[in-house]
């Protein structure tokens, strides 16, 4: 999910800290300018000296022909992105993307067919994984581990249940996988309540997906990135339009978030993967949504923000599935 770059000229953490301080100092109260300066300063610091001399200021991309804006010009998103950047200075959040350490977030699993892996999901009960509805063709087994090319536990899928109102265009894009055997070595992830999701200004996206903006390379290693929210419930307005028309989301059923900073976002292969939000307890992460698709205003398939199916909107349906008992 985090795009790969050249060898760095300085440690990434140090460079990010310097970029945040630089943007805070010179951007004033302008959130848009803050994000632009943050990206420019960080990317320049990551280039070797020879290339740095050829660096030019990053110019805004032109808007897509069918939309008058993009997610990174949404003032709600920009405000949340700046607040997220500030919190990274405390050392407990990541906005540049990183591999998940072995043994952490084992509830985030790879989902695949008998021949290949292609999606991501979240263990929400010992024998239940929540993933995307459009992953039905890649859902005969799940992998528990950090890298599908290395050792891990593979469990077969006994039953696939897609949301009864699923639409191939992406709406109600959730599916429950009932596993052939319970997973007793991993604690299932708790689900976030509606009130928690409604208040979310950012979240943590995780998955095994591709690492390039075109969605072609890098599937297999679990990665995560913390991203700002633009619309937690698809009920606001931007560019003179309701969010449902501007982003292509469903009010009350989905949230819109991402292209955070430095072009880090969810991508192909992350479909169905978790969108976590912080709980009330220190270090607690709860499942708020599942990765679905790119926004209608995105210019690229990956990197311009995404739509995530909220778990609170489908909790009653999940509970009604035979063989499913949530903690």
Query: What are 236-257's pLDDT values in tens digits?
Result: 998 888 999 988 999 999 999 9
Give the pLDDT score at 58: 35
φ, ψ of residue 8 in degrees (nearest 5) = -80, 150
Which range has the worst mean pLDDT, 143-147, 293-297, 302-306?
A: 302-306
CA dihedral of residues 51, 54, 56, 62 (deg, nearest 10): -80
- Mean confidence (pLDDT) of the chain: 81
Contacts of 25 (CB under 8 A, 6+ apart): none
CA dihedral of residues 153, 221, 308, 294 (deg, nearest 10): -140
Segment 38-71, tens digit of pLDDT = 878 877 776 665 444 333 333 344 444 344 357 7
Do residues 304 and 298 touch, judged by C-beta distance below 8 A? yes
How far lies 171's CA from each of 39, 133, 307, in Å? 32, 9, 10
Contacts of 71 (CB under 8 A, 6+ apart): 77, 230, 247, 256, 258, 259, 295, 297, 298, 304, 305
Q: Where are the beta strands (DSSP E) in 46-116?
A: 98-99, 108-112
Q: Which of 19, 126, 32, 111 is nearest to 71 (CA)?
A: 32
Confidence of residue 284 (pLDDT cuts 50, 70, 90): very high
152's tokens: 């891990």
Domain 1-7+72-327 bears CATH identifier 3.90.45.10: no
* Mean pLDDT along residues 148-159: 95
First CA to last CA distance, the chain: 29
* Mean pLDDT along residues 257-269: 56
Give the pLDDT score at 46: 66
φ, ψ of residue 18 in degrees (nearest 5) = -65, -40
Indicate the angle between helix axes 31-45 and 75-88, nearest 10 degrees: 50
Query: What counts of helices (H) and strands (E) characterise the chain?
Result: 7, 15
Do residues 275 and 200 touch, judged by C-beta distance below 8 A? no
Segment 62-110, tens digit of pLDDT = 444 344 357 777 899 899 989 888 877 655 555 556 889 999 999 999 9
């Amino acid at each position: 999910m985090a795009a790969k770059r050249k060898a760095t000229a300085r440690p990434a953490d140090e460079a990010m800290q310097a970029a945040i301080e630089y943007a805070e100092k010179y951007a004033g109260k302008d959130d848009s300018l803050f994000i632009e300066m943050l990206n420019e300063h960080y990317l320049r610091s990551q280039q070797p000296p020879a290339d740095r001399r050829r660096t030019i200021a990053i110019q805004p991309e032109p808007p897509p022909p069918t939309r008058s804006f993009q997610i990174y010009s949404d003032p709600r998103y920009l405000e949340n992105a700046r607040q997220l950047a500030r919190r990274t200075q405390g050392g407990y959040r990541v906005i540049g993307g990183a591999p998940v350490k072995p043994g952490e977030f084992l509830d985030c699993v790879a989902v695949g067919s008998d021949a290949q892996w292609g999606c991501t999901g979240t263990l929400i009960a010992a024998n239940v994984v929540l993933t995307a509805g459009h992953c039905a063709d890649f859902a005969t087994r799940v992998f528990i581990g950090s890298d599908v090319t290395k050792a891990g536990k593979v469990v077969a899928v006994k039953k696939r249940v897609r949301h009864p109102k699923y639409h191939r265009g992406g709406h109600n894009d959730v599916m429950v996988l009932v596993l052939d055997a319970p997973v007793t070595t991993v604690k299932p992830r708790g689900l976030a309540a509606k009130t928690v999701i409604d208040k979310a200004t950012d979240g943590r996206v995780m998955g095994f997906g591709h690492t390039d903006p075109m969605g072609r390379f890098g599937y297999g290693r679990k990665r995560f990135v913390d991203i700002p929210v633009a619309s937690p419930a698809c009920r606001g307005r931007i560019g003179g339009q309701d969010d449902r028309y501007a982003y292509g989301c469903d009010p009350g059923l989905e949230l819109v978030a991402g292209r955070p900073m430095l072009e880090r976002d969810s991508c192909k292969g992350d479909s169905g993967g978790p969108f976590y939000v912080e709980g009330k307890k220190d270090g607690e992460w709860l499942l708020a949504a599942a990765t679905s698709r790119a926004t209608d205003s995105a210019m690229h398939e990956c990197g311009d923000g995404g739509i995530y199916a909220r778990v609170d909107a489908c909790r009653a349906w999940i509970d009604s599935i035979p063989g499913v008992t949530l903690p």
